[in-house]
Structure 1
């Protein structure tokens, strides 16, 4: 009895305290450090790019490149500091992305110069940081929230530029489309970030992971910015991606069914009532001929495909570059990969898209699966008129988020992260509660 009094004087208090301490220790061991969100934000800063619209205060491109590249180096260093034991989680996406370095490096060494090797180094650091972060990929929504907060902060910067200098934010040389006035961002970039934020927030709302007020605070201004960019690719990607994602939830979620039904009704009424305005927004003042040749993109694509190439250039490409051909932007991920990383690069990129799509379709219905399907669908659609699937870019960051969502959760048999040469530890059996000590009758008296 004296021993029990030393540990609290209440029978079972010691055992309860031990179980509470063990639970807290386990949560601290398996939780995601807050610094991981900082690493994710630094990766996002690296992918913002250094070329774009004119800003209110002219920023030297060299200074912007130093900031973006410095952010990548800082992200890798911080991720390494958080994961000194190099414990990583198996990921087909990151593995195939690592293989993509091979044709990039071969073509850059043989055919290109220092600029291509610099871009290879940037891609290697990007992939290495993803490997280090994979330790905390658990199929949860932690990285989804990192993603939404990061790009919403970028859009707040865009909105601030619109408020400070509306003429600079909507210049005539971009046809009055919204650009970044404080940081050089193009209309397609702003449209992409807006579409991703809206899609992920809608899915979080359907699963009741956020409140309606918080969702409206994000979705309404973001949709307004998307409309000001006049970005058709982002709009189509958002609509199709949400249809696929919500369709994967219809059989198991009443909220998804209600949202889908109301969206169809409201969209039908809006199309009928505002047909002329929607048509004018979609055409952006272009002629039907300009729309048919995708604003001149088709001419660049034809010239790129007609360019004579050696067998090595067809296999490995011409080295990582600025995604242009003949001084004009390529604006197609597949042709850019063919030009810079060859047929081997196209095969690898198609492989990780197919693998991720197949894994997502085989998963049971859930929020994580819906978010992954939305991101994969959006990136697949955007690849037709945007570049980025073969180099460090926001699109690879979106797909990395999808890969983190497709990791089996602990409830479905999660595999532990392992270090080099270390086997995964088997799941530990729950510790049985210690039996309560029987107190003799004389002691109770």
Structure 2
């Protein structure tokens, strides 16, 4: 991403020269390094975040160029989670964590998950998924030590998912037929790693939105941003993913709207975006409508590609009082062999009304904290991620289990965290040299 994309504006850097870590002027006569200095984030943290991203890629999707056994993919993803936890523990041996309402609610979500899974109604796989979720949350707790309201984790998020999109682009170049199969209606899939069109669209939309906000906040240069945004937009268009596109547009509107009063760049970008969108809607209305419908009939579009039928059947299924409260146990987010494709109904199915209430509390708490924060780039990025996850939850599952959506919300939580108080370094006492008086200046003794 270049040197500019890595610039975090930490105290002592080019953004705060001549200031204290708190933002005020540095007292005269003090050295730049003499004041309080926050501890930097170890490079291992970025590796841990990349392993968490790998763990949440999943093992089901389109056929790849080189057939990969699902068992091998599952071993790789679970091995990545175990390695992430081990590395996070190694870099945080003293188990220093930060208080986080988001992580507390995620931990609380384990309760209905365990209660519903111990009955083994969903098989031993439910207990295995509970263990995976616990390990996932434990890794986030260990990383919370470095949640300081900075952009560090947002940058890690962009880099890791851009690498994933790089593998998708490589598969498209190597084998266009495998990357755009007829089975998926010519939509882009992962030809090197089994990724579905909604997954690719989600990753592209998230890093596009975050990178646009970094440009508006002058935390990266336009060339580095274009390297990320332009290819990601092409991949997003090839996936024909409506949810990701709407989430990107609405999320950016809300995020940029939070910056309009304090950022001239945000106001200019918003004005130009509205103008370009109006021209595109008038001049390319037929092409946009064809892209949006994806060749579907009006009836198929109205019932959300068959999702509504699955939702109606799920809600009409008989349940015991225990199943209503705690669900049937963590599963593969399906009902009757068909994907649920709705986070709220998937949580209701697997973790009951209790789990749905906890997930709703997570969204409400993060959104409330974001609204109470003063306008800033970090707040705008958090608003984008929270709003994107809330919009995508209608047609995508994942808010109740280890998934990219929980990673998006974890980044939002890190952006909204209060900066850690810097500990002042002890200043060594400097001995004051005694002033030597010359002989000629000494007074003569009087007898």
Quick one: distance in 2 between partners of 1:292 and 1:22? Answer: 64
> Gaps (5+ residues) in structure 2?
1-29, 440-447
Query: Where does residue 169 of structure 1 map in the other structure?
Result: 179
Residues 369, 416 of structure 2: 8 Å contact kept: yes
Q: Which runs of 4+ in 1 moved over 4 A?
A: 18-23, 427-443
Quick one: distance in 1 between partners of 2:170 and 2:183? Answer: 21
Query: Where does residue 212 of structure 1 map in the other structure?
Result: 222
Query: Where does residue 63 of structure 2 map in the other structure?
Result: 54
- CA displacement at 1:113 relative to structure 2: 2.1
Quick one: distance in 2 between partners of 1:201 and 1:430? Answer: 39
Which whole-Å deviations, capped at 9, do the CAs of 1:341-373 have from their partners, x for residues lacking one?
Answer: 000000000001100000000000001100000
Quick one: distance in 1 between partners of 2:208 and 2:335? Answer: 33
| 1:227-376 aligned within 5 A | 227-376=237-386
1:322–1:434 CA distance, 2 compared to 1 (3 A): same
1:266–1:67 CA distance, 2 compared to 1 (3 A): same
TM-score norm. by structure 2 comes to: 0.89
Which whole-Å deviations, capped at 9, do the CAs of 1:3-26 have from their partners, x for residues lacking one?
Answer: xxxxxxxxxxxxxxx967766xx6
Quick one: distance in 2 between partners of 1:441 and 1:284? Answer: 93
SS in 2 for 1:79: helix
Query: Where does residue 98 of structure 1 map in the other structure?
Result: 107
- CA displacement at 1:316 relative to structure 2: 0.4
Query: Where does residue 212 of structure 2 map in the other structure?
Result: 202
Question: Which of 71, 74, 79 matches 1:70?
Answer: 79
- CA displacement at 1:439 relative to structure 2: 5.5
SS in 2 for 1:182: coil
Quick one: distance in 1 between partners of 2:438 and 2:271? Answer: 71
- CA displacement at 1:440 relative to structure 2: 5.1
- CA displacement at 1:329 relative to structure 2: 0.3
> Gaps (5+ residues) in structure 1?
1-17, 417-426
Quick one: distance in 2 between partners of 1:119 and 1:280? Answer: 40
SS in 1 for 2:328: coil
Residues 330, 350 of structure 2: 8 Å contact kept: yes
- CA displacement at 1:112 relative to structure 2: 3.0
TM-score norm. by structure 1 comes to: 0.89
Quick one: distance in 2 between partners of 1:115 and 1:124? Answer: 14
- CA displacement at 1:270 relative to structure 2: 1.2
Kindly indicate whether residue 117 of structure 2 is the aligned counterpart of residue 113 of structure 1: no
Query: Where does residue 445 of structure 2 map in the other structure?
Result: none
Which whole-Å deviations, capped at 9, do the CAs of 1:293-349 have from their partners, x for residues lacking one?
Answer: 000000000000000000000000000000000000000000000000000000000
- CA displacement at 1:432 relative to structure 2: 9.5
1:170–1:92 CA distance, 2 compared to 1 (3 A): same
Which whole-Å deviations, capped at 9, do the CAs of 1:365-423 have from their partners, x for residues lacking one?
Answer: 001100000000000000000000000000000000000000012xxxx358xxxxxxx
Quick one: distance in 2 between partners of 1:366 and 1:436? Answer: 46
Quick one: distance in 2 between partners of 1:165 and 1:442? Answer: 89
Kindly indicate whether residue 148 of structure 2 is the aligned counterpart of residue 144 of structure 1: no
Quick one: distance in 1 between partners of 2:400 and 2:368? Answer: 20
